[in-house]
Amino acid sequence: MRNVVVIAAVAAAGLVGGCDKPLTTPQKGAITGAALGTGIGMVSGASFPVVVGAGLIGGAAGYITGNVIDDNKK
């Protein structure tokens, strides 16, 4: 199961690396949050659905945080 998560993370990194425009702050926050959430879930030895959920929650929290940072810059 962990191999599937690693392959998915590598595939996501490949897709993000193929973007032709610079990423916005919320997008960077979402990627960072998702990576951190997934990593924490994997290290803690959680089941696959819990790892995916942690990645989704981390991504959402990262996006919201990046959006707040972006709004404060204006």
What's the pLDDT tens digit per position in 27-40?
Answer: 999 989 998 998 89
Distance CA 67, CA 49 (A): 27
Percent of the chain with pLDDT over 90: 39
Distance CA 3, CA 8 (A): 9
> Considering only CA atoms, which of 35, 28, 37, 10 is closest in space to residue 69?
28
Distance CA 43, CA 40 (A): 5
> How many domains, in total, are found in the chain?
1
**Domain around 28:** 2-73
Between the two ends of the chain, the Cα-to-Cα distance in Å is 43
* pTM score over 0.85: no
